[in-house]
């Protein structure tokens, strides 16, 4: 305990909360006992539906608990919500900035609501604006700020009266890596200099390691609480990095996953990170890696390893081996470019959403478009699908120029939109039948493809459920099945894993790998930097421009220096953004 005498920042005992929607009752939180130590950063970690947001809202007095007791800074939240609200700061997932008010007007509003005296304001504003780097933008409307700047303004508004406990609900979701780093620096400074206690929820597992303490929630129950190291230590001696020079990394990962001795295998950089089921030497002789053999290096376990293993134990349904996807025909892997993008531009009025973007994608490749929100990824995608005409440049998909033959090109592609775009009130089977008809499949062929989707994506047991009620991971499977109904040669995936928990993300990438193995060309956008390593090649975009292009290894190697011997994709991304800011900052 840092401050042995002071009360816990948050303490609950037997806390429970249920929601009912129609006839279904959802147990959002179930008998939670925990204590948040003051003066520290405590991370609230868990997959979707774990109950993180519910816990935050209960602590902020926005919901009323059904069972148990919840005290915030020694105040009973259910009895004195107003007293709690005047000593905490809470930033909801989508912080409510008024987009039609300026930065200054937003600050003024929250200063009024929080009762900050006029004499204190000037100093506090200057301090906050300096801290979040918005001092130059006070007159700008909040709606005109970038995603990262909005998030920082939201934080400044929550901090306008210095809170004793700061609740941050997924503050870094969808924020570019540079802003994410800055947000963390701000939070760490608050704890260090102002002694604020912070409870922060996150879906990024690498952020868990930056917390002093971690609370692990799963399906409304507490799985554990402790320092990040206390979670990963039990895995010591079970984690390895595996390289096999003769086997491409994606294939190696798939084959490792299939081994009974392996609990988890993911691509990390140019290697595959493996967690063994037990301590002891890892026997990989069954891989048949040829004379070059397999290189195995033991590594220190991290929080993500621990998280996955912990959740696999909880959740046998998701670890169930899904059958490989049988595609009708395996296409040949050759070097022909199936997508050609040449100096493409897209203007909206004065604003260039995409400018001078060029790249080529070869058959059977997984090609990534990496960038923060607003970088122009989705616009590029819509142009490639023929949904949006380009303002300039050449676009060719499967040999068709999109300006003249968008319809033919569209017949060869499958598109999975960023947001769930199926009919929520139709059942899974009805959705599949509709999409099969929409792609012009009939009779025997249609029945075959629907059967394929139900079996291959393990959707059989949900066939009669309204698709809007599916768990998020299954919604995503259904969307992917619908996009593959007509056996397209090219699959476009727009932020397919956004909002999906790490377990479902793993399973999803497993399917993508299988598709690529069968010769389907996959074009995917993502803002998860670690997912970029799953791609064969990628472009990094910012503000509508391509900043870098190449394989993940090439891209990262450009930023290898004395300081960073093994830069991550995130390091590379941040370095590229900084480089660009420097060149843009120089007077022309």
Partner 1 sequence: MNARGGALMRLRGMVRKESLQILRDPSSIAIAFVMPVVLLLLFGYGVSLDAQHIPLAMVIERPDANSASFAAAFQQSEYFSPRRFDSIQDAEQALRERQVDGIVWLRGDFSRRLLAAGDAPVGVILNGVDANQARIASGYIQGAWQSWLQAYASSHGQELTLPAAVEQRVWFNPALRSRNFLVPGLVAVIMTLIGALLTALVVAREWERGTMEALMVTPIRIGELLLGKLLPYFVLGMGGMLLSVAMARWQFGVPLAGSFWLLLATSTLFMLVALGMGLLISTVARNQFVAGQIAILVTFLPAFILSGFIFDIGSMPAPIQFITHVVPARYFVAILQTLFLAGDVWPVVLGNAAALLLMMLIFFAVLGRKARKRLE
Q: Which residues bind partner 1 (CB under 8 A)?
A: 19, 57, 60-64, 81-82, 85-86, 88, 90-101, 105, 108-115, 117, 154, 157
Q: How far is the CB of 133 from partner 1 (least distance, A)?
A: 21
- Partners of 15 in the β-ladder: 32
Give the 3-state secondary structure percentages of the chain, helix then strand then coil, rounded to 5.
35, 25, 35
Q: Is the dihedral of CA 164, 170, 171, 172 positive or negative?
A: positive
HSE-CB at 485 with a 13 A cutoff on CA atoms is 23
Q: How far is the CB of 88 from partner 1 (least distance, A)?
A: 8
Q: How far is the CB of 237 from partner 1 (least distance, A)?
A: 45
Query: Of 237 and 424, which has the nearer Cβ to partner 1?
Result: 424
Q: Output b/e per residue, 48-71; b: 16+ Cβ within 10 A.
A: ebbbbbbbbbbbbbebebeebebb
Query: Of 88 and 178, which has the nearer Cβ to partner 1?
Result: 88
Q: How far is the CB of 139 from partner 1 (least distance, A)?
A: 13
Query: And the tokens for 457?
Result: 């994506």
Contact 301, 233 (CB under 8 A): yes
Query: Of 113 and 258, which has the nearer Cβ to partner 1?
Result: 113
Query: Of 118 and 278, which has the nearer Cβ to partner 1?
Result: 118
Q: How far is the CB of 153 from partner 1 (least distance, A)?
A: 12
Query: Of 153 and 357, which has the nearer Cβ to partner 1?
Result: 153
Backbone dihedral angles phi then psi of residue 216, each to the nearest 5 degrees: -105, 120
Axis-axis angle for helices 103-113, 147-158 (nearest 10): 30
Query: And the tokens for 67?
Result: 């069972």
Q: How far is the CB of 56 from partner 1 (least distance, A)?
A: 10
Contact 327, 487 (CB under 8 A): yes
Query: Of 83 and 463, which has the nearer Cβ to partner 1?
Result: 83
Query: Of 94 and 461, which has the nearer Cβ to partner 1?
Result: 94
229-232's contacts with Cβ under 8 Å and 24+ in sequence apart are 231/303, 231/306, 231/307, 231/310, 232/300, 232/301, 232/302, 232/303, 232/305, 232/306
**Residue 555, Cα to own-chain centre: how many angstroms?**
21
Q: How far is the CB of 539 from partner 1 (least distance, A)?
A: 32
User: Which residue has tokens 């970029």?
Assistant: 532
Q: How far is the CB of 78 from partner 1 (least distance, A)?
A: 11
Q: How far is the CB of 60 from partner 1 (least distance, A)?
A: 5
Query: Of 197 and 243, which has the nearer Cβ to partner 1?
Result: 197
> CA nearest 355: which of 371, 336, 379?
379
Contact 343, 391 (CB under 8 A): no
Query: Of 90 and 534, which has the nearer Cβ to partner 1?
Result: 90
């Amino acid at each position: 305990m840092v401050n042995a005498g002071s009360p816990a920042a948050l303490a609950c005992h037997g806390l429970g909360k249920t929601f009912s929607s129609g006839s279904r009752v959802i147990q959002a939180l179930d008998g939670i006992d925990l204590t948040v130590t003051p003066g520290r950063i405590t991370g609230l970690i868990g997959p979707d539906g774990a109950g993180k947001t519910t816990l935050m809202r209960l602590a902020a007095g926005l919901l009323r608990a059904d069972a148990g007791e919840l005290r915030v800074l020694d105040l009973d939240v259910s009895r004195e919500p107003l007293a709690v609200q005047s000593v905490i700061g809470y930033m909801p997932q989508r912080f409510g900035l008024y987009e039609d008010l300026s930065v200054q007007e937003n600050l003024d509003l929250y200063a009024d609501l929080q009762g900050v005296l006029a004499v204190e304001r000037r100093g506090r504003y200057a301090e906050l604006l300096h801290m979040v780097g918005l001092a130059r933008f006070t007159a700008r409307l909040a709606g005109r700020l970038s995603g990262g700047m909005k998030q920082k303004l939201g934080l400044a508004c929550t901090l306008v009266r210095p809170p004793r406990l700061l609740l941050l609900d997924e503050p870094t979701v969808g924020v570019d890596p540079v802003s994410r780093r800055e947000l963390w620096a701000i939070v760490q400074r608050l704890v260090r200099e102002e002694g604020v206690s912070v409870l922060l929820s996150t879906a990024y597992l690498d952020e868990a390691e930056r917390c002093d303490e971690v609370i692990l929630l799963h399906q409304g129950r507490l799985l554990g609480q402790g320092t990040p190291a206390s979670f990963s230590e039990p895995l010591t001696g079970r984690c390895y990095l595996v390289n096999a020079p003769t086997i491409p990394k994606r294939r190696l990962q798939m084959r490792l996953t299939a081994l009974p001795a392996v609990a988890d295998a993911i691509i990390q950089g140019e290697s595959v990170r493996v967690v063994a089921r037990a301590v002891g030497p890892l026997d990989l002789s069954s891989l048949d890696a040829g004379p070059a053999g397999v290189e195995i290096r033991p590594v220190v376990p991290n929080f993500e390893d621990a998280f996955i293993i912990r959740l696999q134990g909880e959740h046998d349904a998701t670890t169930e081996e899904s059958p490989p996807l049988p595609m009708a025909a395996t296409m040949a892997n050759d070097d022909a470019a199936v997508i050609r993008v040449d100096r493409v531009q897209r203007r909206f009025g004065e604003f260039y959403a995409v400018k001078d973007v060029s790249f080529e994608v070869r058959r059977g490749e997984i090609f990534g478009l990496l960038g923060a929100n607003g970088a122009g990824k989705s616009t590029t995608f819509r142009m490639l699908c023929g949904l949006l005409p380009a303002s300039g440049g050449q676009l060719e998909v499967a040999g068709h120029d999109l300006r003249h033959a968008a319809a033919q090109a569209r017949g060869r592609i499958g598109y999975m939109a960023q947001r769930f775009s199926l009919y929520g009130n139709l059942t899974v089977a009805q959705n599949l039948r509709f999409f099969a008809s929409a792609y012009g499949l009939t009779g025997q062929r249609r029945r075959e493809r629907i059967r394929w989707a139900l079996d291959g994506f393990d959707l059989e047991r949900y066939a009669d459920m309204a698709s809007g009620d599916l768990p998020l991971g299954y919604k995503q499977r259904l969307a992917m099945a619908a996009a593959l109904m007509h056996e397209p040669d090219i699959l476009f995936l727009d932020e397919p894993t956004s909002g999906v928990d790490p377990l479902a993300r793993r399973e999803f990438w497993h399917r993508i790998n299988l598709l690529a193995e069968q010769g389907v060309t996959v074009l995917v956008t993502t803002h998860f930097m670690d997912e970029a390593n799953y791609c064969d090649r990628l472009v990094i975009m910012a503000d509508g421009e391509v900043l870098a292009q190449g394989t993940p290894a090439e891209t990262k190697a450009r930023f290898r220096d004395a300081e960073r011997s093994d830069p991550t994709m995130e390091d590379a991304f941040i370095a590229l953004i900084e480089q660009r800011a420097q060149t843009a900052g120089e007077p022309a």
